[in-house]
Amino acid sequence: MRLLSFAVIAQVLSAGLALADAYEDGLAAYARRDYANAARLWEPIAEAGNANAQNSLGILYKNGQGVPKNESLAVKWYLRSALNGNSDAQFNVGLMYENGRGAERDFVRAYKWFDIATTVGGMRPNPIDAITGRNRVAAKMQPDQITRAKELSKQCRDSKFWECD
């Protein structure tokens, strides 16, 4: 029984390394401006749940790099990544809702995602961008909308992203 357990663990670890390798290979392709190859490498691991690949695919679709420009698909990938806890994607979702790109303009949702990005950590370059985004959107909102956005942000974080709309 122990041999089976070690075999299963080894298989899971090697699958994780393969996903990491595919993501890194995609980054190398992206750096070479071989966007189509980056998309080809990232799509299967994004489908498998890799949050970094999901966010990166969102960037490709938003910019039309290696794939047809499609801001709706960009939002789809950003949201999947955001729900997997990727703060860069959370920031990107906030921008898309703020600007009505790939989704209907929605300041409550934009505020929520900017707020979440400020609290989970890991933002590149830093969480100041998310704070600035949140404040920029708040200036366009009514007090009851800000209250609702804060409630949605808290609900999302408290549920570990299970109860996000």
pLDDT digits (tens, 9 = 90+) for 130-162: 999 999 999 999 999 999 999 999 999 999 989
Chosen domain end from 21, 56, 84: 84
Residues 68 and 110 in one domain: no
Q: Which of 37, 58, 84 is the last residue of a domain?
A: 84
Q: Domain total for the chain?
A: 2
Its domain, for residue 154, covers 86-165
> CA-CA-CA-CA torsion for 106, 112, 115, 116, nearest 10 degrees?
-130
Same domain, 153 and 138: yes
pLDDT digit string, tens, across residues 18-50:
556 899 999 999 999 999 999 999 999 999 999
Average pLDDT on 8-12 reads: 40
Same domain assignment for residues 37 and 105 = no
Residues 57, 93 within the same domain = no
What is the CATH classification number for the domain harbouring 60? 1.25.40
* pLDDT at 123 (0 to 100): 56
Tell me the angle at which helices 107-120 and 87-99 cross, rounded to the nearest 10 degrees. 160
- Looking at the fold, whether 124 and 79 belong to one and the same domain comes out as no
